Amino acid sequence: MKIINTILVSLLSHLPKWIVKPFASPYVAGVTVNEAVETIKSLNNKGYVTTIDILGEHVATEEESYRIRDDYLNLYDRIEGLDANISLKPTHLGMEIDPELSESNLLSILEKAKEKNNFMRIDMENSPYTDSTIDIYKKCLKKYDKVGMVLQSYLQRTKQDIENLDSAKFNCRICKGIYRESEKIAYHGKEEIRDRFFADVKAILTGKGYVAIATHDKLLIDKIENWIIEKKIPLNRFEFQVLYGVPMGNRLQRLLDKGYTVRNYVPFGEAWFDYSIRRLKENPNIMWYVLGNMFKK
């Protein structure tokens, strides 16, 4: 069955978008801002907080980076009053063209976040952009406290980055990492990455910072939760984060019931197709879930 699922997902990537859309919809909050806002409202009503991302990366022109910047500025207006903040990618704002361009765009968005008294998180992309992203994060942090970043546990440098960035203002999402990186700079073993993730979360929580624990690995979530309980870590030092639509059984509700903050990462936008194919490849079983719902209807 796993092989059949994988083949079906591979076929989807070559089909027209209208055929793929029903399979993509569990992972994407729509194409428009209005659709994304309605998804956020629904999640808030269920007890979840959210972070919202406009899908896309690696813009080709300065003009395109300005358009994305303006879309994020508008987005802060649209989510006002909701329990939502924003995550954004530096290459979506021009880093591949010029780091100074993305910095200028990010600082404009940061000013909007400050105006709205909201939070902004700078996503981490693949290794060529790690140092530039950390540099921009540091500049943003000097201007506004409510800004965070992301570190990836499969990178060998992350342990040192956590030590260097540790402070009461340090707000970091820890994730395993999704980009293809060389064995020279990244861990590749599943258990090794899991161990590094656990160590990174502990390092932030035994330091001064705040950690967003971003994983769907239920065994890892249990291990971290047990450690948090054992060490009596205050609830205001961490949160759990998951991608919108990724099946987790009743695990998320159980975390909510225990009083933990659970944040859904909510992507939307015109670049939904490539993102959805990536999610489906990670979890091809969703094919049968969607097909079952279609036949029920």
- The pLDDT value recorded for residue 225 is 98
Annotated catalytic residue within 121, 173, 263, 279: 173
Task: Sort 35 into a burial class: Cβ within 10 Å, 0-12 / 13-18 / 19+.
Answer: middle
Q: Any catalytic annotation for residue 274?
A: no
Q: Any catalytic annotation for residue 123?
A: yes
In the structure encoding, which two tokens stand for residue 241, read together? Answer: 């984060």
Q: How far are the Cα atoms of 30, 105, 187 from residue 227, in angstroms, in the given order?
A: 37, 39, 23
Q: What are phi and psi of 214, to 5 degrees?
A: -105, 95
Annotated catalytic residue within 53, 123, 161, 200: 123
Which residues have a Cβ under 8 Å from the Cβ of 223 and sit 6 or more positions away?
198
Task: Sort 99 into a burial class: Cβ within 10 Å, 0-12 / 13-18 / 19+.
Answer: middle
In the structure encoding, which two tokens stand for residue 256, read together? Answer: 């909510």
**How confident is the prediction along the chain (297 residues), in pLDDT tens digits per residue?**
556 555 555 655 555 554 555 556 667 888 899 999 999 999 999 999 999 999 988 899 999 999 999 999 999 999 999 999 999 999 999 999 999 999 999 999 999 999 999 999 999 999 999 999 999 999 999 999 999 999 999 999 999 999 999 999 999 999 999 888 999 999 999 999 999 999 999 999 999 999 999 999 999 999 999 999 999 999 999 999 999 988 899 999 999 999 999 999 999 988 766 655 555 555 555 544 444 443 344
Domains with residue ranges and CATH for the chain: 29-268 (3.20.20.220)
- The pLDDT value recorded for residue 16 is 58
Closest C-alpha among 124, 164, 168 to residue 146: 168
